[in-house]
Structure 1
Amino acid sequence: MSEVAAGSPTVSESAVRRHAAPAGAVTEPLDDVLEPDGFTPRLLALLSNALVWRESHELRRRFGLGTNDWRVISAVATRPGTSATEVSDFLGVNKAVVSKSVNALVERGMLLLSDGPRGSRPMYLSEEGAEMHHRMRPISLRGQEIILEGVADDEVDRFNALLRDMLERIRADAG
Structure 2
Amino acid sequence: MQLELDRYVPGLLLWLSNKVSSSASLLYNEKFGVGVTEWRVLAYFKIYPWSTASKACELMGLDKGAVSRSIATLVGHGWLDSRPQGLRKIEYHVTSEGNKWHNAIYRYAMAREEALLKGISATERKVLIDLLKRMLSNLDAVQQVGAEK
1:158 to 127, 138, 142: 127
Partner residue in 1 for 2:27: 58
Give ranges in structure 1 of 5+ residues lacking alignment: 1-31
Alpha-carbon distance in structure 2 between the residues aligned to 1:123 and 1:47: 30
Partner residue in 2 for 1:37: 6
- The answer to whether the Cα contact below 8 Å between 1:84 and 1:119 also exists between their aligned partners in 2 is no
Letter in 1 for 2:97: E
Q: Secondary structure at the match of 1:114?
A: strand
Residues 118 and 105 of structure 1, relative CA distance in 2, 3 Å threshold:
farther
**C-alpha distance after superposition, 1:45-86 (max 9, x if no partner):** 111111101111100001110000000100000111111111
- For the pair 1:127 / 2:96, whether they are aligned, the reply is yes
Alpha-carbon distance in structure 1 between the residues aligned to 2:130 and 2:119: 18
Partner residue in 1 for 2:72: 103
The percentage of aligned residue pairs carrying the same residue is 27
Partner residue in 2 for 1:26: none
Task: Kindly report which structure 2 residues correspond to 1:138-153, keeping only aligned pairs within 5 A, or say none.
Answer: 138-153=107-122
Q: CA deviation at 1:173?
A: 3.2
For the aligned residue pairs, the C-alpha RMSD in angstroms reads: 1.4
Partner residue in 1 for 2:147: none
Q: Secondary structure at the match of 2:45?
A: helix
Q: Which has the larger radius of gyration?
A: 1
Partner residue in 2 for 1:46: 15
Q: Aligned pair count?
A: 144
Alpha-carbon distance in structure 2 between the residues aligned to 1:174 and 1:131: 39
Letter in 2 for 1:151: I
Residues 40 and 63 of structure 1, relative CA distance in 2, 3 Å threshold:
same
Partner residue in 1 for 2:45: 76
- The answer to whether the Cα contact below 8 Å between 1:83 and 1:119 also exists between their aligned partners in 2 is no
> Structure 1 stretches (4+) deviating beyond 4 angstroms?
none
Residues 146 and 51 of structure 1, relative CA distance in 2, 3 Å threshold:
same
TM-score by length of 1: 0.77
Letter in 2 for 1:109: G
Give ranges in structure 2 of 5+ residues lacking alignment: 145-149
Residues 51 and 172 of structure 1, relative CA distance in 2, 3 Å threshold:
same
Alpha-carbon distance in structure 1 between the residues aligned to 2:69 and 2:88: 12
Partner residue in 2 for 1:170: 139
Q: Which stretch shifts more, 147-156 or 117-126? A: 117-126
